[in-house]
Amino acid sequence: MKICTQYSIFILFSLLLCLLQVALAGEEQFQKASQAYSRGDYQTAIAGFEGMAVNGASAELYYNLANSYAQSGQSGKAILNYERTLRLSPGDSDCSGNLELLRKEKGLFQTEQSLQQQVTRFLGMNQWIGLAALSCILFCGVLLLPASSSMKRGSRYLLATVALFLAVVGIFGSYGQYQHWYDGVVVSTDARLRVSPFSSAASIGTIQEGRLVNPGKSHGSFYLVTDETGRTGWLESEAVELIVHSNE
């Protein structure tokens, strides 16, 4: 038994050591990428941050990657990663400010957001779902309190009403986020909308790099997309990247 215990401790210690080495290696790679950005070597910074994103991304990582792309003149990739940052950290004012500034510089003016869009972007998808779930649990818990509970009936009904209202708000916010969850960003400098999903098909017109699009069905190497101005057409899949990775 003593040998088994010692062996278990050794395995646990080895695992913790490996995790520490991975964390230190990731921190070193992040520092190298940050230093490359500071000295203006944006391609090296991009390569470093992209390499880290493969193994797991964070809002901080996406934000630094977006800044690197913006400085290198790749506005589509920059906007893509600013949007990814806001999916993980909706209240990031620095990211929102940089994104708005870049869109203005590139003439990517957006239509005024409705009240529903403004409300649903206030929190992220996970936060809205969490609010709805917790409110539903609270609502059920209040109603299931025994009749002999010290809480007055009026107070119970008031608390249940508030919980139900928050649950509805959470569901509303989650649905609003879901409607645009699989939006993409045009990352090609010469992207063209076509009338059908073929390279030889007639072009409806160009779609500017950095534009948000909502992909629908796909056919071969094309997506049927709708852009921010309401135009619909077929766009080559390599010209657009989804904000949320397909495996998320």
Does some domain include residue 54? yes
Contact between 102 and 77 under an 8 Å Cβ cutoff? The reply is no
Question: Does residue 110 belong to any structural domain of this protein?
Answer: no
- Whether the full predicted model's pTM is greater than 0.85, yes or no, is no
CATH of the domain at 41: 1.25.40.10
pLDDT digit string (tens) for 65-109?
A: 999 999 999 999 999 999 999 988 888 889 999 999 999 998 887
Q: 247 in a domain, yes or no?
A: no
pLDDT value, residue 19: 40
- pLDDT tens profile 227-247: 888 889 999 999 999 988 755
Digit-coded pLDDT (tens) for 42-72: 899 898 888 887 777 788 899 999 999 999 9
Comparing 106 with 9, the larger pLDDT belongs to 106
CA pair distance 134, 150, nearest whole angstrom: 23
User: Average pLDDT for residues 174-180, to the nearest whole number?
Assistant: 76
> Of the candidates 130, 147, 179, which is a domain's last residue?
179
Residues in the chain: 248
- pLDDT for the residue numbered 67: 94
Q: Are residues 77 and 153 in the same domain?
A: no
Number of compact structural domains in the chain: 3
Whether 131 has a pLDDT exceeding 60, the answer reads: yes
- Tally of CA atoms within 13 A in the half-sphere of 47 that contains its CB: 7
124, 95: one domain: no
What is the C-alpha to C-alpha distance for residues 39 and 28, in angstroms, rounded to an integer? 17
Helix axis angle, 153-179 to 125-143, nearest 10°: 160
199 and 229 together in one domain: yes
Six token digits for residue 45: 């910074």
Sheet of 184-186: strand order equals: 203-207, 191-194, 232-236, 222-227, 212-219, 184-186, 240-242
Q: Which of 179, 207, 230 represents a domain boundary (last residue)?
A: 179
Domain assignment of residue 71, yes or no: yes
Mean pLDDT, rounded, for 146-156: 65
Using the predicted structure, report yes or no on whether residue 32 has a pLDDT greater than 60. Answer: yes
Whether residue 214 sits in one domain with residue 130:
no
Let me know if residue 48 belongs to a domain. Answer: yes
CA atoms of 245 and 28, how far apart (whole Å): 25
**Ordered alpha helix ranges (H), the chain:** 2-38, 42-54, 59-71, 75-88, 93-105, 115-120, 125-143, 153-179
Mean pLDDT of 213-220: 89
pLDDT, position 4? 52
Helix (H, G, I), strand (E, B) or coil at 128: helix
The answer on 138 and 79 residing in a single domain is no
User: Taking Cα atoms as reference points, which of 239, 236, 233, 230 lies closest to residue 209?
Assistant: 239
Structural domain boundaries enclosing 234:
184-242
Residue 207 lies inside a defined structural domain of this protein: yes
Domain-embedded: residue 7: yes
The span from the first CA to the last CA of the chain, in angstroms, equals: 43
Residues 188 and 174 in one domain: no
Q: Per-residue pLDDT for 20 more than 50?
A: no
Q: What is the per-residue pLDDT for 116?
A: 65
Mean of the pLDDT values across residues 22-40? 71
The angle at the Cα of 233, spanning 227 to 238, to the nearest 5 degrees, equals: 80
Tokens of 182: 């699989």
Per-residue pLDDT band at 112 (split at 50, 70, 90): low
143 in a domain, yes or no?
yes
| Token reading at 242 | 């989804």
pLDDT band at 21 (very low <50, low <70, confident <90, very high): very low
Q: Based on the domain organization, do 87 and 137 belong to the same domain? A: no
Write out the DSSP string of 65-101.
Answer: HHHHHHHTT-HHHHHHHHHHHHHH-TT-HHHHHHHHH
Are the CB atoms for 26 and 34 separated by under 8 Å? no
Residues 122 and 173 reside in one and the same domain: yes
Specify the pLDDT at position 172: 83
